[in-house]
Every structure is written in structure tokens, then in C-alpha cells.
């Protein structure tokens, strides 16, 4: 044991704690001479599609006495699960909204879009069917909700997979935006590689119940291991309050199988012993990328995350190259609606997925998003479902919070 969490927190409070982002840590390591005594904390982060995300909201929808109990409810057209609390004649709703549910009027608008809209301060349309058969409508904002929390049943998997379609037919899947093309002609990939929190503490030695984290930029905590977590592919379950979240770190993501939900997780890894230090030393070239068949997830090959990430996180847009096509494929093809010809690329919405690079006929979007090799065939990656550009910024933000004494990462110190 090199140090304890209390030792590190004391160092933070006395401004005698060396905090580095994972990117900074690897840069220092490449220059040689760094050891476990030189660094106290390394900040890590990931931003990606995290299907196991839902919100629990409670708020007043009408004056007391207007209805006995809600039978069904919708927010912006998304059907919600009415919670178990009857709230007889109180006019209060307890709702559970899944991140992957979608609006009945707009199949591309899902729970992730709703969560972002609420955090951005936008009003949501609430429709209620009461037990008596009455229909009520009202509008609500996040500031009107006494209780608004986001939960993750499985967040921040240690490692994800790269997928190809070996069949002879295109298919719809959450791993593509348009139809996933056949004959291993394209690949899609997820995961922030060396920046991902659980790649840096794969045994969850420090990431225990109650450990404070950032979820979409807001204070949160680890509840436990998540569903489908295993020794080789661990993940965590999380909770955080929607208040304080950053809308640019979250949202909805359009796929050919329906909307998905974007979530960001940042975690400070304290270097308590040599084992944690050794795990932190792993770079993208040390982390395997599993390449699998999208149908049935059959393993096909292995690559490395350095095949995908090599300083190429940002997708550039050249306005002078854009032809403002009337049938612009980017408008419908962008999974986060981050592009409009008249205004250009909106970086607050852009996920840096790279899908636009292959769609634009005139090369207005540029970037290199890598390729993988499957049974001797080089397959281009056409979509990244993780945003490492944002993950780097989030790791920097967490570092700044720690140095400014705004983040206490000792388990049990954060109240949700």
C-alpha cells in the first residue's frame, strides 16, 4: 500500500497532490522516469452510447383533488412508466422514463433527447390519462421537479466491441445509423480505449459502492456493479441528479433500430498501490479491440484501440467546401442533428462519430476514423459510437475540480 484515500484527500486539501489526466499521465510515462510515488490521482472519462440509462422524475402535474391516480403518462410523446406511489388526489406524478424509449409521433426522438432537453432548461409536454378516464396536459421544466435523478443499470463497460456484418443482406441495428451494410464492407466501433475509467481499474479495486463520480458533468456515485458485468467485461451502476448536468455531455443518438441514449462518465483513479499504477500504464496499443459479428456477437478477430484512436478525435468541417445541397445527406444522416447547411456544424451537438465523412460527396467533412482487419480483409470504420474528444475535455474538467477542492472522492462523502 502506497497511500490511502484519506492520505490523498489530505494532500488535495493542503494543495500537495499531483493530479494528471490519463492523457497527461501517458505523455509523462513516455518520457520515462515516472513511478507510483510521483502521481496521486489520474482522471479518466468516457462518453458513449449507454443503453441502460433511465430517469426517475417526480413533480406536480395538476392542483390537488383533480384526479385520483394516473393510469398512463407521456412526456414529449414518450410513454412513461407510472411509478408505484398512488399519490391519491395529490396531483403528483412519479415517472420512470427509459433512455431508449421513443416518441409515438417522432420515432427518432427518444428518452436521451428528452433528458438533454430537460437539462438544457426546455419545457416538456406532459400528457396524463387518469384512472377516471380524464386526459390532462401541462408543461414542466427541470426546475419544477423536486426529484429528478438519472440511473444507469450498466454504465462505462471496461471494453466494448467492433462490429461487422458478414451476411449478404443489410440489416437494422443499434450499431449503425443507416442500414448496416453486408459482406464486411464496413465496421462500427465503441469505446474510448485507454481513457475509459474501467480500463484503468479493471478489478474495481477503488471503484466500490458509494465512490463519487461525474455523470454528464454532475456529481454522482457508483451504486454497485452493473447488470451483465463480468470479470472480463466489468461495468458499474450509477446514480446522479439531473440538476448540475451539462447538456453537451448527454443526449439522444439516432440508429437504424431506433434512438439510443448518450451518457458521459468521469472517474478519478487514486493510485493506492503498484497494481493500480500498473493498470494505468496501459495505452491504446495495449488494449485489445474485440471484432465480432453483429448478428449473434460471434468473435471474428482482435485488433487494438490504437487502430481507432491516434490523435484523430475531432471531425473537421470546411464551410467553404460545403455546396449547400438541397438533398444534403448529412441532415438526415447525422445521428445527433448537429448539422444544418445554413449554420454549419454545431459542436455542442456533434458526437464526433465520423459518419458524415463518408456521407458528404464533396469532402466538406474530414477526419480519419481508422480501420480494422478481419480474416485478411481491411474493413473501414464508418461510425464511432464513443466521443473521445469530449472524454478528454471531461477528464480535464474533473482534474480542475479536484485541484480547486470542489470534488471529494472518498466513498460516502457525497450525498445524492
Strand spans (E) along 192-310: 212-215, 218-225, 236-241, 251-253, 260-270, 288-293, 299-304
Write the pLDDT tens digit of every residue in 225-273.
999 999 889 999 999 999 999 999 999 999 999 999 999 999 999 999 8
Angstrom distance (rounded) from CA 342 to CA 345: 9
User: pLDDT (tens digit, 9 = 90+) per residue, 361-399?
Assistant: 999 999 999 999 999 999 999 999 999 999 999 999 999
pLDDT band at 5 (very low <50, low <70, confident <90, very high): confident
CA 65 – CA 365 distance, rounded (Å): 56
Q: Report angle CA 189, 194, 197 to the nearest 5 degrees.
A: 95
75-105 in b/e form (b: 16+ CB < 10 A) is bbbbbbebbeeebeebbbbbbebbbbbbbee
pLDDT tens digits, residue range 30-42?
988 788 888 999 9
Check pLDDT > 60 for residue 215: yes
CA distance 254 to 362: 24
For residue range 200-209, list pLDDT tens digits in order: 999 998 899 9
Match 485488433 to its residue by C-alpha cell: 303
- Supply the pLDDT for residue 411: 65
User: Residue 406: is it exposed, middle or buried by C-beta count within 10 angstroms (0-12/13-18/19+)?
Assistant: exposed
Give the whole-angstrom CA distance, residue 161 versus residue 118: 31
Which one is predicted more confidently, 288 or 408? 288
pLDDT in tens, 55-93: 999 999 999 999 888 999 999 999 999 987 777 889 999
Q: Is the pLDDT of residue 409 over 90?
A: no
pLDDT of residue 84: 74
pLDDT score of 413 more than 60: no
Q: Is the pLDDT of residue 304 over 80?
A: yes
Average confidence score pLDDT of the chain:
93
pLDDT tens profile 319-348: 999 988 888 999 889 999 999 877 788 999
d(CA 76, CA 368): 37
Amino acid at each position: 500500500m502506497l497511500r490511502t484515500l484519506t492520505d490523498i484527500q489530505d494532500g488535495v486539501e493542503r494543495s500537495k497532490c499531483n493530479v494528471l489526466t490519463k492523457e497527461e499521465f501517458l505523455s509523462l510515462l513516455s518520457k520515462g522516469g515516472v513511478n507510483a510515488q510521483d502521481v496521486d490521482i489520474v482522471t479518466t472519462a468516457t462518453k458513449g452510447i449507454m443503453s441502460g440509462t433511465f430517469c426517475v422524475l417526480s413533480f406536480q402535474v395538476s392542483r390537488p383533488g383533480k384526479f385520483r391516480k394516473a393510469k398512463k403518462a407521456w412526456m414529449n410523446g414518450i410513454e412513461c412508466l407510472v411509478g408505484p406511489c398512488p399519490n391519491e388526489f395529490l396531483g403528483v406524478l412519479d415517472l420512470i422514463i427509459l433512455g431508449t424509449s421513443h416518441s409515438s409521433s417522432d420515432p427518432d426522438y427518444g428518452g436521451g433527447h428528452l433528458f438533454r432537453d430537460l437539462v438544457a432548461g426546455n419545457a416538456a409536454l406532459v400528457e396524463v390519462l387518469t384512472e377516471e378516464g380524464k386526459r390532462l396536459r401541462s408543461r414542466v421544466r427541470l426546475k419544477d421537479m423536486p426529484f429528478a435523478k438519472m440511473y444507469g443499470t450498466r454504465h462505462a463497460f471496461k471494453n466494448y466491441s467492433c462490429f461487422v456484418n458478414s451476411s449478404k443482406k443489410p440489416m437494422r441495428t443499434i450499431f449503425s445509423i443507416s442500414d448496416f451494410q453486408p459482406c464486411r464492407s464496413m465496421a462500427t466501433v465503441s469505446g474510448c480505449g485507454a481513457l475509459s475509467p474501467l480500463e484503468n481499474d479493471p478489478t474495481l479495486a477503488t471503484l466500490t459502492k458509494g465512490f463519487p463520480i461525474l455523470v454528464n458533468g454532475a456529481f454522482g456515485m457508483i451504486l454497485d456493479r452493473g447488470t451483465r458485468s463480468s470479470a472480463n467485461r466489468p461495468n458499474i451502476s450509477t446514480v446522479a441528479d439531473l440538476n448540475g448536468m451539462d447538456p453537451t455531455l448527454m443526449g439522444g443518438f439516432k440508429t437504424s433500430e431506433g434512438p439510443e441514449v448518450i451518457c458521459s462518465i468521469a472517474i478519478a483513479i487514486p493510485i493506492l498501490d503498484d497494481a493500480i499504477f500498473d493498470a494505468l500504464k496501459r495505452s491504446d496499443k495495449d488494449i485489445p479491440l474485440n471484432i465480432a459479428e453483429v448478428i449473434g456477437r460471434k468473435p471474428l478477430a482482435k485488433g487494438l484501440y490504437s487502430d481507432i484512436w491516434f490523435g484523430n478525435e475531432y471531425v473537421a468541417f470546411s464551410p467553404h467546401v460545403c455546396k449547400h445541397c438541397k438533398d444534403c445527406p448529412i441532415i438526415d444522416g447525422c445521428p445527433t442533428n448537429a448539422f444544418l447547411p445554413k449554420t454549419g456544424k454545431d459542436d455542442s451537438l456533434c458526437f464526433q462519430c465520423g459518419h458524415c465523412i463518408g456521407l458528404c460527396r464533396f469532402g466538406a467533412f474530414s477526419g480519419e476514423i481508422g480501420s480494422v482487419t478481419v480474416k485478411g480483409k481491411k474493413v473501414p470504420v464508418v461510425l464511432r459510437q464513443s466521443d473521445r474528444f469530449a472524454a478528454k475535455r471531461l477528464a480535464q474538467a474533473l482534474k480542475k475540480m479536484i485541484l480547486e477542492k470542489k470534488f471529494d472522492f472518498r466513498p460516502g462523502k457525497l450525498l445524492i
